[in-house]
Structure 1
Amino acid sequence: MGQCQQWIKPRRSGVYLKVLLLGGLSLWTLTGIILPAQRRSAKAADIELARASNPWSFASFPVENFQAYTSPFGYRQSPYGGEQFHYGLDIAAPLGSYIRNWWEGRVVEISDDSACGTSVVIESGEWQHIYCHMQGYVTSEGGRRVMVDPDGNIQIREGTTINTGQPIGRVGMSGRTTGPHLHWGLKFESSWVDPAMILRAMYDDQQATR
């Protein structure tokens, strides 16, 4: 089977993707990134060098108290009947476990009126990361939506910047779900990406830095 390699540089971010076209199958492998501006320290040069060689080691796994991956990205038999395309990765964790922001970015959408339940969407350059089925509710303050989880001591407002690893909610059962889990979705330049591939890249880089 023939193989063609192509490099893509997004319009605004510094992320590079390597696309391996194997026949009709597109396999995306992340090979390098320049992150959005972050706070600099006395060791900023060392940090930037580390990012250049192992960029994904600086990302945050999105769920505490991980139990299992319960539904992968792609076509599946829906628990409600029939076949459907699942635009994310379901990560099971005990009810109330904290959800952490994958990468520093700006909150662009908050809602609680869809099958996604109480949800937050964060934008990091050309990436969007979506967090669904959280606890809490959505209200409005000053014309902007705010996600409030009083028991988790969390309040997330649209338009604010969220740091990598910062708690943004807790695992719940809001929306259409059969059990407590985080539905985690990823988009790159408006196209859905399999989150499992990102987690594998993170794991590889984090192992390389040990």
Structure 2
Amino acid sequence: MTAPRHAALAVVVLASGCAATPAPAPALDAPPAAVVRPAAPQTAPARFVFDGPATQGGFLRGTAPRGTTTLTLDGKPVELAEDGGFIVAFDRDAPPEARLAARLADGTTHVQTLRIAPRAWDIERLNVPMRPPAMTTEEFRQRRAGELAQIAQARSADAPARGWRQGFIWPAQGRISGKFGAQRIYRGEPGAYHSGLDIAGGAGTTYVAPADGVVVLAASSPFTLEGNLLIIDHGHGLNSAFLHSSQLLVHEGDTVRQGQPIGRIGMTGRASGPHLHWSIKWNDARLDPLLFVPPRN
């Protein structure tokens, strides 16, 4: 079943529709919110403005109300640009509602409830094992722990990149061989859902950066599952990962521009054939890359 396409959803919430209430005293266990300078009056609106697919696996880019000093989504801090711009996103299993709250310099709080559209997901059955067959469960566990630590460290980076503001481009052309959100069954053993988009572009085909960013991980040797892994931080909590590469063309710390060659498609790690697995995360939320790129003919 083809994952539904979602047209860009523009949501404009008038100031009169926001709940302006005195700011409550902060709870002792409330997460810290990054404080930024209030957005300039000539650029920030007096209301929330959003654009994007408000759906599971989707995202919204927006501008906070004029005078916003802190912004949270379901109580967790959201990074603000100096002009009030921000991005928020929703995990594959996100609940039907999310609460966006902007605290203003005058002490009031604007709150907006976001409606998150549900989606149906495919089931994929693969004739490959859950873990590499030549490795015992204990060997896999020990090696995997180190790999996951590297991935977590890379995704905790906060690069001064602005790719999160860009309209993304396709990193490669080719047949879509795996869709985001589909659950995979490995020789009868259920696994985690598919966290990205698979593009069968042909072995050795060069792929490019879908948006500006900074390389925060370029594996020096293949990971057990991901193979030659590359992660790019696009800024504001948004990052892209590229799996199974035959070769990486960039190094950790490199700044890359949209359209720049960054690797070549392969089948390293756990892969049943040469393809590019492209995944996107915003903080802890896994997102659907198809919602970031324009439709193809």
The alignment's TM-score, normalised by the length of structure 2, stands at: 0.46
Q: Is the 8 A contact 1:109 1:121 kept in 2?
A: yes
- What amino acid does structure 2 have at the position aligned with 1:115? L
Provide the C-alpha distance between the structure 1 equivalents of 2:243 and 2:80, rounded to a whole number of angstroms. 27
TM-aligned CA deviation for residue 36 of structure 1: 4.2
* Alignment-derived partner of residue 73 in structure 1: 180
- What amino acid does structure 2 have at the position aligned with 1:128? N
Change (3 A) 1:124 1:18: closer
- What amino acid does structure 2 have at the position aligned with 1:121? I
Residues 19-168 of structure 1 mapped to structure 2, 5 A cutoff: 22=96, 26-27=116-117, 36=161, 56=167, 59-63=168-172, 66-84=173-191, 85-111=193-219, 112-125=222-235, 126-136=237-247, 147=248, 154=249, 156-168=250-262
Change (3 A) 1:105 1:80: farther
- What amino acid does structure 1 have at the position aligned with 2:241? I
Provide the C-alpha distance between the structure 2 equivalents of 1:37 and 1:23, rounded to a whole number of angstroms. 28
1:185 partnered with 2:185: no
Greater share of helix: 1
Provide the C-alpha distance between the structure 1 equivalents of 2:260 and 2:211, rounded to a whole number of angstroms. 9
Provide the C-alpha distance between the structure 2 equivalents of 1:191 and 1:114, rounded to a whole number of angstroms. 23
- What amino acid does structure 2 have at the position aligned with 1:11? E
Provide the C-alpha distance between the structure 1 equivalents of 2:263 and 2:215, rounded to a whole number of angstroms. 13
Provide the C-alpha distance between the structure 1 equivalents of 2:80 and 2:284, rounded to a whole number of angstroms. 13
- What amino acid does structure 2 have at the position aligned with 1:71? G
Provide the C-alpha distance between the structure 2 equivalents of 1:169 and 1:196, rounded to a whole number of angstroms. 20
Greater share of strand: 1
Rg larger in structure = 2
Instruction: Report SS of the residue matched to 1:74.
Output: coil
TM-aligned CA deviation for residue 189 of structure 1: 2.3
RCO (CA 8 Å, sep 6+): is it higher in 1 or 2? 1
Provide the C-alpha distance between the structure 2 equivalents of 1:102 and 1:179, rounded to a whole number of angstroms. 23
The alignment's TM-score, normalised by the length of structure 1, stands at: 0.63
* Alignment-derived partner of residue 173 in structure 1: 267
Q: Is the 8 A contact 1:75 1:83 kept in 2?
A: no
Provide the C-alpha distance between the structure 2 equivalents of 1:114 and 1:135, rounded to a whole number of angstroms. 14
Q: Is the 8 A contact 2:161 2:214 kept in 1?
A: no
* Alignment size in residue pairs: 157
Instruction: Report SS of the residue matched to 2:259.
Output: coil
Instruction: Report SS of the residue matched to 2:225.
Output: coil
What do you get for the CA RMSD once the two structures are aligned? 3.4
TM-aligned CA deviation for residue 198 of structure 1: 1.5
Provide the C-alpha distance between the structure 2 equivalents of 1:60 and 1:97, rounded to a whole number of angstroms. 16
- What amino acid does structure 2 have at the position aligned with 1:124? H
Provide the C-alpha distance between the structure 1 equivalents of 2:80 and 2:215, rounded to a whole number of angstroms. 18
Superposed structure 1 runs of 4+ greater than 4 Å apart: 5-9, 17-25, 35-38
TM-aligned CA deviation for residue 99 of structure 1: 0.9
